[in-house]
Amino acid sequence: MRSAGEIARDVREGASSAGRELEIALSAIRARNDELNVFLYVDEAGARLAAQRVDEAVARGERTGPLAGVPVALKDNLCQRGIPTTCSSRILEGWRPPYNATVIDRLVAAGAVPVGKTNLDEFAMGSSTETSAFGPTRNPLDPTRVPGGSSGGSAAAVAADMTPLALGSDTGGSIRQPAALCGIVGVKPTYGLVSRYGLIAFASSLDQIGPLSRSVADAALLLEVIAGHDPRDSTSLPEPAPSLRDHLDDGVVGRRIGVVRELIDGADPEVVASVDRAAEVLRAAGAELVPLSIPELRLGLSAYYLIAPAEASSNLARFDGVRYGLRVDADDVAAMNEATRTAGFGAEVKRRIMLGTYALSAGYYDAYYGQALKVRTQMIEAFRRAYREVDLLLGATTPTVAFPFGSKTANPMSMYLSDVFTIPTNLAGEAAISVPFGVGEGGLPVGVQLLGPGRSEARLLAAGRVLELAEGRP
Amino acid sequence: MLRREDVAHVARLARLTLSDEELDLFTDQLAQVLEHASDVAALDLEGVEATAHPFGLVNVVRADEPQPSLDRDEVLAMAPDVEDGRFAVPRILGEDQ
């Protein structure tokens, strides 16, 4: 498979065409989508039109963008004008947004071809795609196992070679965890680096859109395109997109990298072994590896499962049957609201809404939500102290390889533990990357995670590239 | 300890109807999550400031210049019920109010 960068180059130079690249993607989707349930909607007509526009621009000798003719999969919580956008929920079934998410406008401006919408855990609440109202996605590497979540469809699209690139969103690990379980690269950018305009909100202070790709270089390419200030997102960082591709080969010479006990403890032995080997590779490449303990990270999971549901309970109040999506009729408006929400939301979404409502309710606000916000402060300060000693942190992305369907659905707490190593980055608003490195149980891929402070994407990608090269990936 | 009636109360606040079986199940499951969160609830964090948002961007406003908004017909075309260019809903007040 050619990289996204190579595809764009071929399209620009006339060695291929956007139309041809699209047909390759569509035929890969047709070959396995029934089996894997990756795409909820494939926009063949829209994609053909977008590809045609790129090819016409190339034919006229116009400048085309860095993603010219590259097919891209979109997580189905990103609004695309006129295209069904469901969040994998019955409550939005049939809804077609009247506007594009900023990231989609940027993709198209860069010459990319959006091909369709991928499956996710309902409203991005889950770590396996098993909470999707439209059935789970299967892991392309072992269809008896989950692809991870919540961006499981986007990870599977890349892992199954349906599209070279995909967009996901990461609230507590929802890009990095499925990337790890599907053996691909996933980046959770610094909070505010990528506009959230048009991303249907789950937990607004944690959500961030980011790339999933086969290689670190492709992740850098896609992230450069989608990053940068957007006046339509008031939390967007007030600065232009950083230069990432120019720093891909910076290496790690002289970098201090902390190996964090709390981001390894409790992981499967093969996962621990992969992190140890990654540390050795980085050391051999010139980095100084420092063992670290950041005890505050242990509180991340508890704080997250108070803060994220609290924000979700507020964000999801908008789904009331009045303006869009499902309406279940009733005699008066309050009964209609309740009947609609009861019929439209699945069990996990109801659980999180209730958890958040409880954490925010009179008598419990200070003990739960208020405490969690203070823990968040402590987490930010703990990371800040660590980054005075080291440049980056290293750990596992997720405690296990891809797990079998149904193995964690009966006990929500066991599912939540899948995100124990990824959550701290979201709480701190910082950046992290998951890179496939080694294999675990059943020969399934393991992801190792590199974490950095806000705006450290160039450093993270360069370090990820060192690991990728050591694994023999070009 | 989370009680069944707490969950029923929260479901009412959240505008969700739960069956008896769901009430039992959610009471168990939510109690487990809150049990896990008891480590956070038990901390002495007197004097620690709360962080609701990772970066301190405050009062971000755009220039006060008119810009086009969404097309009304396109928005209403996706609504469950529409009347005279507006969202229509069932009655809000009872007949005796």
A195 is annotated as an active-site residue = no
A117 is annotated as an active-site residue = no
A299, A327, A429 ranked by CB distance to B40: nearest: A299
| Residue A21 amino acid letter | E
Q: Do A291 and A472 form a contact (C-beta atoms < 8 A)?
A: no
- In chain A (474 residues long), the average pLDDT of successive 10-residue segments reads 96 97 98 98 98 98 96 98 98 96 98 98 98 98 98 98 98 98 98 98 97 98 98 92 96 98 97 98 98 97 96 98 96 96 98 96 92 96 98 98 96 93 98 98 97 98 98 86
Q: Beta strands A431-439 and A185-188: pairing type?
A: antiparallel
Could you read off the pLDDT of B41-66 as tens digits, one per residue? 899 999 999 998 888 777 888 889 99
| Residue B6 amino acid letter | D
> How many Å apart are CA A287 and CA A464, to the nearest integer?
13
B69 min Cα distance to partner chain A (Å): 10
> How many Å apart are CA A165 and CA A176, to the nearest integer?
14
Q: What pLDDT, on a 0 to 100 scale, did the predictor assign at position A474?
A: 74
> How many Å apart are CA A141 and CA A451, to the nearest integer?
26
At how many degrees (to 10) do helices A457-470 and A216-226 cross? 160
A97, A321, A333 ranked by CB distance to B92: nearest: A333
* This model's pTM is above 0.90: yes
Q: Which CATH number fits domain A4-243: 3.30.470.10, 3.90.1300.10, 1.20.210.10, 3.40.50.261?
A: 3.90.1300.10
B34 min Cα distance to partner chain A (Å): 8
Q: What pLDDT, on a 0 to 100 scale, did the predictor assign at position B96?
A: 56
Cβ of B70 within 8 Å of Cβ of A99? The answer is yes
On whether any CB of chain B is under 8 Å from the CB of A366, the answer is no
Domain ranges of chain A: 4-243
Give the active site residue among A3, A17, A75, A236. Answer: A75
**Among B16, B51, B67, B69, the residue to mutate for chain A (most A Cβ within 10 A):** B51
On whether any CB of chain A is under 8 Å from the CB of B15, the answer is yes
Cβ of A413 within 8 Å of Cβ of B32? The answer is yes
A293 is annotated as an active-site residue = no
Q: What pLDDT, on a 0 to 100 scale, did the predictor assign at position A291?
A: 98
Cβ of B29 within 8 Å of Cβ of A377? The answer is no
> How many Å apart are CA A420 and CA A402, to the nearest integer?
15
Q: How many CA atoms lie less than 13 Å away from B35 in the CB half-sphere?
A: 11
Class of domain B4-41: mainly alpha
On whether any CB of chain A is under 8 Å from the CB of B82, the answer is no
Which residues lie across from A188 on neighbouring strands? A432
Domain ranges of chain B: 4-41
Q: How many CA atoms lie less than 13 Å away from A340 in the CB half-sphere?
A: 28
> In this complex, how many residue pairs, one in chain A and one in chain B, have their CB atoms less than 8 Å apart?
168
Owner of token pair 């032995």: A269
Cβ of B50 within 8 Å of Cβ of A235? The answer is no
